[in-house]
Chains A and B, each alone.
Chain A
């Protein structure tokens, strides 16, 4: 399907090491990774294999020590912190494992944050946030505190926040691992339904094999690099080692 779509993310021979000397660990070893517009690609693999690290590189929050990273034709390696910040503000939406909602703000205020950062007027940001909250089924909970919501509801707020400014790259790190099986599936369904767009690329990191079926493609990681890419997720039902 999407193999002919334009390339959204391209990482080539990316290297990241943490620590120095004896304690030095290579989290990414010459990793190559490609994702296209219009697809939902999952990054899977055992804990500690470097998934989050690769995601951070793609998101422009971590600068690789070697290799190239290009997102929508823009080289990220070599950009200054300010340029990376501007890049993230414009192009990226985030969904985190631990939701990362600001507990002292209301639900709708949390969703407004990406718009306000972009300089959108308060009133407009509010109406856009209200609209997307309705889409994730949280109409009526706008003024609640995030802490008053269930885990699944909180993650829906996070999805609304990640998509409210219509980013072209959506990054999700283990979005279902803090949730039970059914809620996790609902959340994944929602990410898939709402984020689908020919322009958008969605990268989901997970080691939850029960949600593999939502992926267009699956990139399997092992020990700091992509070991294989599976184009048809149905061939990957249960992988006991994951």
Chain B
């Protein structure tokens, strides 16, 4: 009988299509909105991803990766002397205005890295070489920045196109020349503008000799010492704060800078709320649409369920038929919706806009919610069928 229940479901292609549309749409909406949300949230710890170090050291008051409380350069020596430290490199980050050749100002994130080790350098340099940063007044700009700071140029056909910055181009930071020697590819950040890389020492020049420029220190443990262990040693010996750089935000590793950054934004900004509203809306629309289509499926078949009931099917059998129908529709709808979300996500990841991170947890939650919608619909159907009088089969 359960096989027939499925055949009943698949027999009406138009109804089934409607039902699957509703279910997959809601699954898509939920998975998609949540993934964009986590994508945006993952941008909050972009520095941790881009900088690639095992241990970050900061002022003890720092709470997250975008919150630099500059330290004195002498702190480098203190950390270097901690047992288990292989090396330490300085890192500067600050938000500055850059002036383009045409006189326009753009907000940038200046990143100063150690010129000896290049610790914290971008992983992917698409044009130029990192070593050229050792030349005077040079910077490396990320692709997004190259686009953003590019110049509109009128072509021979009169069409205006944006010509991105390229190696050799020059702009100014605080009236000091910045000559581009490379273009890199890095992940975008939640705060500030595009990334402009320079050496740590030159970042002091660009920031006009600010008293403290040591935003973070990047440290590497010697072989046999775990990052977490090194963090512990650094903290106890220097009184500074040390962080690990794993980007798992779900576990409870207290030292993860990415995790602390993520949850800091979660607690201190309105993003979770506004996105929560979007996700709730998706869920709501999903429940309404698919609940409604499943309900109309049941209504349309009520007459036949009544006939089956009259022929002696127990409520248990009828209930199981409805649950099988609903759960099957729910599973297919989830599959389609999650598949679509993933396909759209792939395009988004390629473009980098909007950010998209689909955690398995999100998929599981979407599955659970889609199943929930199906089960609720089935229960409504079961109540409806249980109320239908078997005697109605004799009435036209």
Which positions in A face B, CB cutoff 8 Å? Answer: 52, 55-56, 59, 61-62, 81-82, 85-90, 92, 94, 96-98, 100, 102-106, 109, 112-114, 116-118, 122, 173
Contacts and interface: CB of A to CB of B under 8 A. Distances in A.
A62 B395 CA distance: 13
Interface string B364-396: 000000000000000000000000011101111
Given A55-B394, A102-B308, A104-B9, 6 more contacts: A81-B315, A92-B312, A97-B394, A105-B4, A117-B311, A117-B313
A118 to B, nearest CB: 8
Nearest to B308: A113
The 7 A-B residue pairs with the shortest CB-CB distance in the complex, in nearest-first order: A104-B11, A89-B312, A61-B390, A88-B312, A61-B391, A116-B1, A56-B391
B159 interface: no
A97 B311 contact: no
A107 to B, nearest CB: 12
A103 B304 CA distance: 9
Contact of B304 (A102, A112, A173): A102
B308 A59 contact: no
Contacts of B307: 94, 96, 100, 102
A106 B4 CA distance: 10
B310 A59 contact: yes
Interface string B278-322: 000000000000000000000001011001111111110100000
B394 A105 contact: no
A94 B395 contact: no
14 contacts: A55-B394, A61-B310, A61-B394, A82-B315, A85-B314, A86-B312, A88-B390, A97-B394, A102-B304, A104-B10, A105-B11, A112-B4, A113-B1, A173-B394
A191 B3 CA distance: 29
B7 A94 contact: no
B17 to A, nearest CB: 13
A81 B309 CA distance: 11
B7 A109 contact: yes
A117 B1 contact: yes
A100 B391 CA distance: 13
Interface in B164-189: none
B13 to A, nearest CB: 9
Nearest to B392: A61
Interface residues of B, number: 29
Contact of A88 (B7, B310, B395, B396): B310
A103 B11 contact: yes
B12 interface: yes
A100 B303 contact: yes
B8 interface: yes
A117 B317 contact: yes
A132 to B, nearest CB: 15
Given A105-B11, A116-B4, A122-B3, A100 B313 contact: no
B311 A92 contact: yes
Given A86-B312, A117-B1, A102 B8 contact: yes
B381 to A, nearest CB: 15
B391 A117 contact: no
Contact of B311 (A81, A82, A113): A113
B389 to A, nearest CB: 7
Given A82-B314, A117-B311, A104 B8 contact: yes
Contact of B393 (A86, A94, A122): A94
Contacts of B303: 100
Given A85-B314, A104-B11, A117 B396 contact: no
Interface string B180-208: 00000000000000000000000000000
A96 B393 CA distance: 8
A100 B308 CA distance: 10
Nearest to B10: A104
A114 B312 CA distance: 8
Nearest to A110: B4
Nearest to A162: B311
A114 B313 CA distance: 8
B308 A117 contact: yes
Contacts of A98: 396
Nearest to A52: B394
A196 B3 CA distance: 32
Contacts of A87: 312
B320 to A, nearest CB: 12
Interface in B50-98: none
Nearest to A173: B394
Nearest to B3: A122
A173 B307 CA distance: 13
A117 B312 contact: yes
Contacts of B390: 61, 88
Most A CB within 10 A of own CB, among B1, B311, B313, B390: B311
Contact of A85 (B12, B313, B395): B313
Given A61-B390, A117-B1, A52 B308 contact: no
A94 B304 CA distance: 13
Given A56-B391, A61-B391, A173-B394, A85 B312 contact: yes
Nearest to B395: A52
